[in-house]
């Protein structure tokens, strides 16, 4: 899967894989491509701790340095303007520069202005220049925070107007005021910025206020153009990378690797350790493999600092590779839950994330490639899982069912004997009441729980059990048809299920597994069932049936390209006019033109807000085109 996003700024950001808001993307900059999520090590132009070339060998693809510091040093300034930033730093990879806003935060003021520091960054030949934003402190009153938002926006407008030819970073400010953050994000997104850093968060990170950090990231993301890369300003601790990536942050920058090293502190995915308190080094990086803690302590200071900085970077890049692998496999939530167990503040961050389920749910696919692994009650609160549980319970409670206790999966095997009774069944599972027919459908059929359940899970099961375990009379039912219907309701909702299955239903089963493969209605092949996750793929005959739903339900509406789409070519975001807001990434959909004629059936890659914002790349992977009647 590949699609391109081209910002009004001209920046190309290509998404290769996604998992909810998290994404693996390719950022194309003048000095080369960068795969995100990426960490930009901060280079201090005054002190070389580790040469950029060495960092490139460890996984650094892009760097960040501070133009304000360079500008303030007569010697550096002249060299940098003469030779360009890349020669001065000793790298030919992309370089982003910061503006001095952070120095404003530390020293209270800066000796430059927006256009001066931007002009200087342009003269250095940087890949991305940052405007002089106004840092909103977390202790700011709402009025003060609003002032920093408005002033940052004013400077953003000034920058975009006067420097239309370079890539600019437009930071989001607004302190800890969520509505103000969203407003700032919307204002900055309305300008042709290449990337959006989320600013003013360093004090939150320094004070382990991770719950507040989550609020700030989510409220900023809500207002940002979803097609632009997001940078979490000053986030350099690997402990924060998984949750920030889960919330849709694409870039990180770190001076922490060096700052912590000067302080003899080692970073790990689970936190920070002081060298003086360590006897064993629980790490496989080249530094920790070669030296003991004692040897590091006895070393000359300069060498020790360099080695600890190297360790800090190795650990950080390894964590980013784990995150990318998790995005690829669709199990980043699991990784965040595991990491949350390493520090109470991270657990607070996770629990705060779960409060924003309504927003996050819109980006959550209904099915994933990875098995659902339970790691605590928070796993059941993941927005995509909660939605699935709610939908299943609705189906389980709309008609009388005999409720069975939780058992080994697949339930249909464990309860094979009982299923001879002509009754509908549901299982009182840790997810909630699950109809027997959804036994092989994600997440119910692809899930693992501990045999010894948590108290919260037991309590929920017991509560549902009260009054639910009564028997029901036998009736005439066809289990295959029941299953066909339940999965259709689960995946397409009641309206879709009714339209898709109106008529006489018949099925074809796999000879090998005995499972349903294809669903026919009045002799037409309407749906196929995927064995891996128990979800349907839509056939053209099914698409025709969904076309009966009220506009724009189930639809991606395109303005152009009818002929190509009818031939089975993918739908590009550029042509998308309208999208059903109920569609989620990876859902089955129908593609129609403006006259509401069916062009194809396929799988959406983007949800509504993404498909409308992205101006290039694939919005729908078409499965089958509709030949002209």
Cβ(129)–Cβ(121) below 8 Å:
yes
Closest C-alpha to 479, from 448, 516, 511, 444: 516
Residue 253 C-beta: closest distance to ligand GUN, Å: 8
Please state, in angstroms and rounded to a whole number, the distance separating the CA atoms of residues 252 and 240.
10
Q: Give the closest residue to 330 by CA, choosing from 1, 609, 59.
A: 1
Using rule CB under 6 A, residue 234 touches ligand GUN: yes
If contact means CB under 5 to 8 A according to the sort of partner, which of Zn ion, ligand GUN, none does residue 233 touch?
Answer: ligand GUN
Contact set with Zn ion (CB under 5 A):
283, 285, 287-288, 311
Comparing CB distances to ligand GUN, the nearer of 191 and 540 is: 191
Letters for 159-178 (x = contact with ligand GUN by CB under 6 A, - = none) are ------------x-------
Residue 202 interacts with, from Zn ion, ligand GUN, none (CB under 5-8 Å by kind): ligand GUN
Q: Which does 283 bind (CB under 5 to 8 A by kind): ligand GUN, Zn ion, none?
A: Zn ion
285 binds, among Zn ion, ligand GUN, none (CB under 5 to 8 A by kind): Zn ion
Smallest distance, ligand GUN to C-beta of residue 232, A: 9
* Closer to ligand GUN by Cβ: residue 25 or 199: 199
Catalytic, out of 19, 98, 212, 580: 98
Binding-site string for ligand GUN from residue 180 to residue 199, where x marks contact by CB under 6 A and - marks none: -------------------x
Among 13, 63, 68, 102, binds ligand GUN (CB under 6 A): 102
- The one of ligand GUN, Zn ion, none whose footprint includes residue 500, by CB under 5 to 8 A per kind, is none
Tell me the residue ranges of DSSP E strands in 309-452: 372-373, 402-405, 425-429, 432-435, 447-448
| 460 is an interface residue for ligand GUN by CB under 6 A | no
Q: In this chain, which of 70, 101, 287, 349 binds ligand GUN, going by CB under 6 A?
A: 101
Residue 98 site contact among ligand GUN, Zn ion, none (CB < 5 to 8 Å, cut-off depends on kind):
ligand GUN
Q: Is 202 in the site for ligand GUN (CB under 6 A)?
A: yes
119 touches 158 (CB < 8 A) = no
Residue 274 CB-half CA count within 13 A? 3
Q: Which residue has the tokens 């900059």?
A: 29
Pick 43 or 202: Cβ nearer ligand GUN: 202
Give the nearest distance from C-beta 197 to ligand GUN in angstroms. 6
CB 444 within 8 A of CB 431: yes
CB nearer ligand GUN, residue 6 or residue 152: 152
CB of 287 to Zn ion, least distance (A): 5
Burial of 23 (0-12, 13-18, 19+ CB in 10 A): buried
C-beta separation of 347 from 341 below 8 A: yes
Coil/strand/helix, residue 150: helix
Calculate Rg over the CA atoms of the chain: 27
Question: What is the per-residue DSSP string for 422-490?
Answer: SS-EEEEETTEEEEGGGTTSTTTTSEE--SS--HHHHHHHHHHHTTT----------HHHHHHHHHHHH
Nearest-approach distance from CB 201 to ligand GUN, in angstroms: 7
DSSP annotation of 569:
P
Task: Between 267 and 457, name the residue whose CB sits nearer to ligand GUN.
Answer: 267
Q: How far is the CB of 163 from ligand GUN (least distance, A)?
A: 16
199 binds, among ligand GUN, Zn ion, none (CB under 5 to 8 A by kind): ligand GUN
Does 212 contact ligand GUN by CB under 6 A?
no
Cα–Cα distance for residue pair 152/184, rounded to 1 Å: 9
For residue 273, the minimal CB distance to ligand GUN (Å) is 24
Residue closer to ligand GUN by CB (options 202, 214) is: 202
Size of the site for ligand GUN (CB under 6 A): 13
Residue sitting closest to ligand GUN (CB) = 199
- Establish if 153 lies at the interface with ligand GUN (CB under 6 A): no
Query: Site mask, ligand GUN, residues 559-588, x = CB under 6 A?
Result: ------------------------------
Shortest reach from residue 57's CB to Zn ion, in Å: 16
Contacts for 504 with CB less than 8 Å, ≥ 6 apart:
521, 522, 523
527-554 in b/e form (b: 16+ CB < 10 A) is bbbeeebbbbebbbbbbbbbbebeebbb
Supply the angle between the helices 210-223 and 344-355 in degrees, to the nearest 10.
Answer: 30
Q: Whole-number minimum distance, CB 183 to ligand GUN, in Å?
A: 16
Nearest in space to 542 (alpha carbons), one of 522, 564, 524: 524
345: CB partners within 8 A, 6+ apart: 208, 209, 210, 211
**Is 98 an annotated catalytic residue?**
yes
How far apart (Å, rounded) are the C-alpha atoms in residues 147 and 134? 9
- The verdict on 491 binding ligand GUN (CB under 6 A) reads no
Nearer to Zn ion, 292 or 559 (CB): 292
Say whether residue 233 binds ligand GUN (CB under 6 A).
yes
Among 19, 127, 133, 225, binds ligand GUN (CB under 6 A): 133
| Of 336, 311, 535, nearest in space to 444 by CA | 535
Beta bridge partners of 521: 505, 524
The window from 128-136, 217-225, 264-272, 444-452 that contacts ligand GUN (CB under 6 A) reads: 128-136
Nearer to ligand GUN, 155 or 555 (CB): 155
Q: Which of 3, 63, 68, 135 binds ligand GUN (CB under 6 A)?
A: 135
Specify the stretch interacting with ligand GUN by CB under 6 A; choose among 97-105, 359-367, 391-399, 533-541: 97-105
Residue 203 C-beta: closest distance to ligand GUN, Å: 9
- Measured from the CB atom, is 311 or 608 closer to Zn ion? 311
Instruction: Give the nearest distance from C-beta 122 to ligand GUN in angstroms.
Output: 16
**What is the C-alpha separation between 584 and 617, in angstroms, rounded?**
17
Q: Which residues contact 250 (CB under 8 A, 6 or more apart)?
A: 23, 25, 27, 36, 37, 38, 195, 229, 230, 231
Closest CA to 149 of 115, 176, 120, 126: 176
Q: Which residues contact 563 (CB under 8 A, 6 or more apart)?
A: none
From the list ligand GUN, Zn ion, none, pick the one residue 499 interacts with, judged by a Cβ distance below 5 to 8 Å according to partner type: none
Contact call for residues 132 and 101 (beta carbons, < 8 A):
yes
- What letter would DSSP give residue 239? G
For 211-302, where are the E strands, in sequence order? 230-232, 251-254, 265-268, 271-274
What is the rounded CA–CA span in Å between residue 295 and residue 311? 14
Q: Quick one: what does residue 238 bind among ligand GUN, Zn ion, none, with the CB cut-off 5 to 8 Å set by partner type?
A: none
The residues assigned a catalytic role are 98
Per CB under 6 A, residues contacting ligand GUN are: 98-99, 101-102, 130, 133, 135, 171, 199-200, 202, 233-234
């Amino acid at each position: 899967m590949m699609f391109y996003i081209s910002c009004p700024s001209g920046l190309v950001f290509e998404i290769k894989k996604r998992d909810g808001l998290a994404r693996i993307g390719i950022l194309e900059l003048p000095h080369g491509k960068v795969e995100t999520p990426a960490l930009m090590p901060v280079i201090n132009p005054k002190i070389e701790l580790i040469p950029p070339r060495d960092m490139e060998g460890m996984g650094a693809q892009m760097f960040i340095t501070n133009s304000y510091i360079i500008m303030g040093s007569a010697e550096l300034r002249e060299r940098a303007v003469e030779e360009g930033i890349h020669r001065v730093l000793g790298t030919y990879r992309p370089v982003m520069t910061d503006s001095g806003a952070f120095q404003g935060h530390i020293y209270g003021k800066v000796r430059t202005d927006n256009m001066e520091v931007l002009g200087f960054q342009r003269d250095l030949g940087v890949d991305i220049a940052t405007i002089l934003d106004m840092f909103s402190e977390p202790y700011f009153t709402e009025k003060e925070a609003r002032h920093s938002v408005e002033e940052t926006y004013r400077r953003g407008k000034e920058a975009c107007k006067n420097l239309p030819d370079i890539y600019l970073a437009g930071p989001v400010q607004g302190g800890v005021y969520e509505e103000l953050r969203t407003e700032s994000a919307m204002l900055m997104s309305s300008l042709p910025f290449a990337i959006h850093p989320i600013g003013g968060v360093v004090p939150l990170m320094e004070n382990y206020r991770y719950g507040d950090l989550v609020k700030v990231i989510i409220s900023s993301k809500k207002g940002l153009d979803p097609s632009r890369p997001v940078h979490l300003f000053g986030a350099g601790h690997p402990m924060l990378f998984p949750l920030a990536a889960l919330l849709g942050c694409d870039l990180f920058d770190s001076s922490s690797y060096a700052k912590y090293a000067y302080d003899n502190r080692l970073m790990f995915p689970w936190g920070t350790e002081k060298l003086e308190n360590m006897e064993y080094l629980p790490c496989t990086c080249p530094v920790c493999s070669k030296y003991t803690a004692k040897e590091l302590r006895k070393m000359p200071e300069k060498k020790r600092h360099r080695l600890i900085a190297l360790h800090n970077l190795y650990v950080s890049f390894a964590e980013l590779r784990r995150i990318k692998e998790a995005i690829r496999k669709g199990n980043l939530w699991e990784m965040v839950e595991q990491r949350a167990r390493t520090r109470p503040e991270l657990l607070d961050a996770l629990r705060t994330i779960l409060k924003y389920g309504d927003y996050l749910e819109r980006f959550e696919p209904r099915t994933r490639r990875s098995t659902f692994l339970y790691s605590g009650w928070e796993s059941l609160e993941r927005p995509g899982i909660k939605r699935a549980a709610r939908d299943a319970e609705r189906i389980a409670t709309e008609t009388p069912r005999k409720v069975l206790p939780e058992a080994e999966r697949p339930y249909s095997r464990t309860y094979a004997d009982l299923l001879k009774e002509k009754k509908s069944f549901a299982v009182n599972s840790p997810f909630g009441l699950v109809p027997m027919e959804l036994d092989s459908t994600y997440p119910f059929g692809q899930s693992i729980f501990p045999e010894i359940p948590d108290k919260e899970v037991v309590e929920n099961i017991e509560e549902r059990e009260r009054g639910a375990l009564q028997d029901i009379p036998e009736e005439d039912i066809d289990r295959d048809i029941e299953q066909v219907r339940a999965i259709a309701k689960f995946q397409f909702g009641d309206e879709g299920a009714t339209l898709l299955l109106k008529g006489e239903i018949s099925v074809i089963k796999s000879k090998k597994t005995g499972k349903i493969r294809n669903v026919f209605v009045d002799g037409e092949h309407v749906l196929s069932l995927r064995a891996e996750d128990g979800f349907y793929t839509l056939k053209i005959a099914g698409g025709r049936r969904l076309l009966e739903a009220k506009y724009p339900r189930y639809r991606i509406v395109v303005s152009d390209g009818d002929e190509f789409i009818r031939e089975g070519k993918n739908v590009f975001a550029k042509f998308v006019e309208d999208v059903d807001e109920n569609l989620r990434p990876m859902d089955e959909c129908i593609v129609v033109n403006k006259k509401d004629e069916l062009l194809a059936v396929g799988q959406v890659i983007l949800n509504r807000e993404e498909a409308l914002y992205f101006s290039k790349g694939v919005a729908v992977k078409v499965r089958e085109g509709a030949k002209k009647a």
